[in-house]
Amino acid sequence: MSAESGDSAGITIGVVGAGMMGSALAYTCARAGADVVLVARSLEGAHRGKAYAARREMHALQAGRTDAAASSALLDRIAPTERVSDLAPASLVVEAVAENVAVKQHVLQSIEAVTEPSTLLASTTSTLPVTTLAATLARPENFVGMHFFSPVDRMSLVETVVGARTSEATLAASLTYSRMLGKTPIVVRDSRGFFTSRVMQPYLDEAMVAVGEGIDPVLVERAALEAGYPVPPLQLLDEITLTLNRTVQRENRVAVEAVGGVWRANGADRVRDRMIDEHGRGGRSVGRGFYEYDAAGARLGLWPGLRDLFGIPRTIPLEDMRDRLLFVEVLEAMRCLDEGVIGSEADADTGSVLGIGFPAHTGGVVSFRRSYSAGVEGFTARARELAGRYGHRFLPPEPSSEAHDQPEYL
């Protein structure tokens, strides 16, 4: 949505946090026509956040996608500040700070203290339960998760997370805001990992499991690209960083065990730990991961030592590796549907394609299963074949229903 559309004209949106997520979100809101209050811990940090918008507008000017007057007006709509009190006129405030419960709760409380009772509060969290984040708020009914995807100004999906006390009015308003910003929202139930992170993690894990089995990492990456993934899994892990991926998994383990569950480790944990702890290969940000990088951070190719790190080399058919990556995501999506984590098959398809890069030509995780050779029965037969060769994680969950047409939250 361009600023010229005017759909957000006259609306003030607050963004708290001027890191990569917050900076891009502030630019997205201003581009949609809203006035933006960008809050950081220091005024200098807030100005650095606004600089993201300036850089993006410079590229737009050079490409002829805007003109100087429109670009100047857009930048004028972003007001950097270190004062939380400047959020008072905002009708929506989005928190985009560190992925830590205590930090987010503190920030959200400070926002709530200076804004109107009707102000909508949102968090960009990608994994933390929204109900937990809302526990210290005076008005939890006004709080919702709005999980934007990075880079925000280019990714169209927003995963809208409904907490235990999120009101229907708040949900409806958040969906309206997402659409005003030119985004495509889906609705998910509050749970750790929500839908997109929960479905993407098996894709990343499966690649590491395969490497740990001695399968050539070149085959792993090639299988993903031939399946239609925009970014192969080992490359994606380097971009995310293995260290962040491990932190999230450890937090998941703590959450599972805190409620009496049993955490089931897999071969991915061993690969991730050895890469980080024994070889210092945490990802692109440190210049060493599954790939090698030059001094400027450019990707050079897969780390040659990776092939010999995890035992005797093993060869499997390319189509098996391809299906292993695809099927683990589809099977996890099926579990999410059966558990009511996501309310509709349409949202599951949309979220998988727009949010986590499931091959777009398939139509999404649900459409892939339905359109598989010989349909659902063919998919199930192939899943059982993979289970026989590579492990029980490929066994399909027992179906509870084939009817998931309407989101239960709307």
What tens digit of pLDDT does each residue of 275-310 get? 999 999 999 999 999 999 999 999 999 999 998 898
Residue 118 lies in a domain: yes
pLDDT at residue 174, rounded to an integer: 97
What does the pLDDT look like over 59-69, one tens digit per residue? 999 999 999 99
pLDDT of residue 65: 95
189, amino acid identity: R
Q: What confidence score (pLDDT) does residue 373 get?
A: 93
Percent of all residues in the chain with a pLDDT value above 70, rounded to a whole number: 95
Q: How many CA atoms lie within 13 A of 181 on its CB side?
A: 31
Residue at 400 is within a domain: no
Residues 163 and 48 in one domain: yes
Provide the pLDDT for residue 388: 97
Banded pLDDT at 272 (limits 50, 70, 90) = very high
Q: Does residue 250 sit in the same domain as residue 287? A: yes
What CATH number should be reported for the domain holding residue 270? 1.10.1040.50
Please check whether residues 24 and 57 belong to one and the same domain: yes
pLDDT tens-digit series, residues 361-380 = 999 999 999 999 999 999 99
Q: Assess whether 21 and 68 both reside in one domain.
A: yes
Name the residue range of residue 298's domain.
207-224+232-310
- Mark whether 293 and 338 lie in a shared domain: no
Residues 216-228 have a mean pLDDT of 97
Give the count of domains, the chain.
3
Q: Do 39 and 170 reside in the same domain of the chain?
A: yes
pLDDT classification of 122: cutoffs 50, 70, 90: very high
Question: Residue 399 — pLDDT band, cuts 50, 70, 90?
Answer: low
One of 47, 147, 279, 404 is an active-site residue; which one?
147
Does residue 7 fall inside a structural domain?
A: no
**Within-domain flag for 4:** no
pLDDT value of position 2: 37
What is the crossing angle of helices 217-227 and 196-212, to 10°? Answer: 140
111 domain residue, yes or no: yes
Q: 7 pLDDT exceeds 80?
A: no
Strands 299-302 and 291-293, how do they pair?
Answer: antiparallel
Question: For residue 31, is it within any domain?
Answer: yes
Shared-domain flag, residues 128 and 174: yes
46 with 138, same domain: the answer is yes
Note the pTM of the prediction, 2 decimals: 0.87
Please tell me whether residues 123 and 266 are part of one structural domain.
Answer: no
Confidence check: pLDDT of 271 > 90: yes
Q: C-alpha angle 174/176/180, rounded to 5°?
A: 115
Both 180 and 70 in a single domain? yes
Same structural domain, 165 and 300 = no
| Predicted pLDDT of residue 400 | 54
Domain boundary among 289, 310, 331: 310
Tens of pLDDT along 162-212? 999 999 999 999 999 999 999 999 999 998 889 999 999 999 999 999 999
pLDDT category of residue 238 using cuts at 50, 70 and 90: very high
Q: What is the mean pLDDT of residues 115-122?
A: 97
Mean per-residue pLDDT over the chain, rounded: 92
Residue 119: both structure tokens together: 């102000």
Residues 176 and 212 both lie in one domain: no
Q: Is residue 144 assigned to a domain?
A: yes
On whether residue 196 sits in a domain, the answer given is no
The last residue of one of the domains, among 288, 310, 332, is 310
Q: Is the pLDDT of residue 404 over 80?
A: no
Known catalytic residue at 392: no
